[in-house]
Amino acid sequence: MAVRRARTPRSTPAPQEAGEAAPVDHPLDLSSLTGITGYPLRRAQLAVFDDFNRRFASLDLSPAQYSALVAIGDNPGRKQSEIAGALGIQRPNFVAMMDELERRGLAERLRSDADRRSHALVLTQRGSELVARARLAQSQQEEAIARLLGPQGRETLVALLRRLAKIE
């Protein structure tokens, strides 16, 4: 059995190995990325979601759950497949999400009168109350974004993003 010697801390930096960049004291140059639409779009999405998660932590809602509850509340009785499709959530993921929302007593799947093979979705009273509180948190987030971008800047950003995502 081979025994390895423990490394001792060096007082001087190790020599640079082949292919390894030397440490620098200035920020990274990301200008090749910041001019690409997707990079700042993704970074903005991460910032908005981080803020969302902070604001919604006490409600125990993810962005996808919030979207589903709002869509169900605004469209009671619509089929599960319609809500999932409109939100761009894959069917297996939406089924799992609905399982969780039902377990928490926030939404229900009811047998559709029109098509016995599908489920109509509705909010429970508890779900409606949670959505009301969540809408308040969402409006506060939108106000913060409007303060950052200016009211017209926020409206312009939303309009451009809707165009980019091909949302009517």
Helix axes 151-165, 125-149, angle to 10 degrees: 110
Q: What is the pLDDT of residues 127-155, one digit of tens each?
A: 999 999 999 999 999 999 999 999 899 99
Lowest mean pLDDT among 3-17, 40-54, 109-123: 3-17
Q: What is the pLDDT of residue 2?
A: 52
- C-alpha–C-alpha distance, residues 123 and 121, integer Å: 7
Contacts of 121 (CB under 8 A, 6+ apart): 72, 76, 77, 78, 79, 80, 83, 98, 107, 108, 109, 110
* Tally of CB atoms within 10 A around 67: 17
* Most distant pair of Cα atoms in the chain: their distance: 77
What's the Cα-to-Cα distance from 32 to each of 10, 21, 29, 114, rounded to whole Å? 37, 19, 8, 54
- C-alpha–C-alpha distance, residues 154 and 142, integer Å: 8
Q: What is the pLDDT of residue 45?
A: 95
**Annotated domain spans of the chain:** 60-165
Q: Which two tokens stand for residue 87?
A: 């939100």
CATH number of 60-165: 1.10.10.10
Stretch 40-60: mean pLDDT: 96
**Residue of 66, 65, 78 whose CA lies nearest to 109:** 78
Average pLDDT over all residues of the chain: 89
Stretch 37-49: mean pLDDT: 95
